[in-house]
């Protein structure tokens, strides 16, 4: 427990630092581009994210699973397979992207940028999960934070020189992914065996089949996560996507602790045959109360944050945050539960909740957005995550000894241990 919390705290502190940097970039982009161009920016990377998730075929999770269980497993097999799968999905992206994007984002330049971004993002994701599987948390944090900080510097230069626009913003994000690729390559070469182009179809098949088990759930979850952006664009217009994206980005901060903790949870559970129900129970308990506390603070400070850091065009985002809040708290719990299920070899269970959640979001978006606008989209998202949580927790309860009451009982000792580690790593 001590080492797990120590790694989680280190990862969490780096994520906070990375969050500050990312939020600064969001402020620069949003205020410089305006709500409509910010909407186009969000839609572009939303579609890129969909193709990236589809092309991963669950390979990052499979890499952590087999690397943590088998010390002799060679992660380069995962990297070589990720290149192959991503090239195939890039071809698919090139073929069909013009059927979705508006003319503003369907030009040859944006198609090329999107293709390169998908390729780099998928390969980088696998490489970062290799670092997680080897419990090299500091290296993982370094490869995440440093490229983002360089991006912030470049965004600031373009902003103050008056040369920042939609095209340059997209190019800088691609540059950030290129920098991450270089840093990851350097870090992996320090401790992995020399890479060879020899193909091992048996290992590829094992990775592919394990990744495929939970992949439909991850795809449905990824689509559902921001599918309301597409419906807002269709029913209300791109400018409202830009406004909604700010509220979504702020409330998504609540999931920061959950994403940090769940990333560390998987290799700790997978690396031994022992049951780790207490570890997951403590994680869920901590995430629940941490999310409630940060959610309350965000509600109280959201008006100040938006009025201080964003132009008046985004003022409507303030009223949306309170409707998104319940969904993001539930999403935090879902991420920890999904991590546990994946670690014990049951990633496919995520599919059931993800499908129900996606159907709920689509149905309610068509009903609530015409009636209540952006607030309707936020309500639909929160209801969908509630249904996802109920379904996922039911399966989770059948495979563990954890009851719902175990999650909601406040554990004082757990928080004492966490904050003692936090103070220890504050420097």
Q: What is the pLDDT of residues 228-257, one digit of tens each?
A: 999 999 899 989 999 999 999 889 888 877
Distance CA 287, CA 186 (A): 34
Q: Is pLDDT above 50 for 426?
A: no
- The average pLDDT across 324-349 equals 83
pLDDT computed for residue 232 by the predictor: 94
Residue 186 has pLDDT above 70, yes or no: yes
With beta carbons less than 8 A apart as the criterion, state whether 246 and 377 touch.
Answer: no
C-alpha to C-alpha distance for 215 and 349, rounded to whole angstroms: 10
DSSP 8-state code for residue 264: H
Give me the pLDDT at residue 101, please.
53
pLDDT in the model for residue 377: 93
The whole-chain average pLDDT of the chain stands at 81
pLDDT of residue 422: 43
Print the domain residue range for 417. 2-424
pLDDT in tens, 71-103: 777 778 888 888 888 888 888 888 877 665 555
Domain count, the chain: 1
pLDDT score recorded for residue 28 = 92
Residues 43-67 have a mean pLDDT of 85
Q: How far apart are CA 404 and CA 337, in angstroms?
A: 12
CA–CA separation, 377 and 149 (whole Å): 32
Range name among 148-152, 179-183, 271-275 with the lowest pLDDT average: 271-275
Which pLDDT band, with edges at 50, 70 and 90, does 387 fall under?
very high
Q: Please provide the DSSP assignment of 358-402 as one string.
A: HHHHHHHHHHHHHHHTHHHHHHHHHHHHHHHHHHHHHHHHHHSS-
pLDDT band at 267 (very low <50, low <70, confident <90, very high): low
């Amino acid at each position: 427990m001590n080492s797990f919390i120590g790694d989680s705290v280190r990862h969490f502190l780096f994520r906070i630092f990375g969050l500050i940097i990312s939020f600064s970039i969001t402020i620069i982009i949003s205020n410089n581009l305006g709500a409509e161009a910010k909407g186009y920016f969000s839609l572009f990377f939303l579609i890129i994210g969909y193709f990236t998730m589809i092309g991963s075929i669950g390979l990052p999770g499979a890499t952590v699973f087999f690397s943590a269980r088998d010390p002799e497993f060679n992660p380069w097999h995962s990297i070589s397979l990720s290149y192959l799968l991503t090239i195939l999905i890039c071809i698919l992206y090139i073929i069909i992207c013009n059927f979705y994007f508006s003319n503003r984002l369907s030009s040859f330049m944006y198609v090329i940028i999107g293709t390169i971004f998908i390729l780099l993002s998928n390969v980088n994701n696998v490489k970062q999960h290799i670092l997680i599987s080897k419990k090299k948390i500091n290296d993982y944090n370094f490869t995440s934070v440093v490229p983002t900080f360089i991006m912030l510097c470049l965004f600031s230069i373009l902003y103050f020189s008056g040369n920042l626009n939609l095209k340059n913003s997209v190019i800088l994000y691609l540059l950030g992914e290129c920098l991450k690729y270089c840093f990851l390559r350097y870090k992996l070469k320090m401790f992995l065996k020399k890479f060879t182009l020899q193909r091992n179809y048996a290992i590829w098949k094992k990775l592919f089949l394990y990744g495929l088990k939970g992949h439909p759930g991850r795809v449905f979850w990824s689509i559902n996560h921001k599918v309301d952006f597409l419906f807002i664009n269709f029913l209300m217009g791109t400018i409202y996507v830009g406004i909604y994206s700010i509220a979504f980005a702020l409330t998504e901060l609540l999931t920061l602790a959950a994403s940090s903790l769940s990333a560390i949870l998987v290799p700790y559970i997978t690396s031994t045959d022992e049951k780790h129900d207490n570890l997951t129970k403590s994680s869920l308990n901590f995430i629940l109360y941490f999310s409630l506390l940060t959610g309350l603070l965000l509600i109280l400070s959201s008006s100040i944050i938006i009025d201080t850091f964003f132009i008046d065009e985004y003022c409507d985002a303030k009223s949306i945050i309170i409707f998104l809040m319940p969904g993001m708290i539930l999403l935090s719990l879902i991420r920890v539960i999904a991590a546990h299920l994946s670690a014990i070899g049951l990633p496919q269970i995520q599919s059931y909740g993800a499908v129900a959640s996606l159907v709920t979001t689509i149905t309610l978006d068509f009903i609530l957005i015409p009636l209540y606008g952006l607030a309707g989209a936020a309500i639909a998202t929160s209801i969908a995550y509630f249904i996802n949580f109920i379904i996922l927790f039911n399966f989770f309860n059948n495979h563990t000894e954890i009851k719902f009451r175990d999650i909601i009982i406040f554990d004082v000792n757990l928080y004492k241990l966490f904050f003692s580690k936090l103070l220890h790593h504050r420097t």
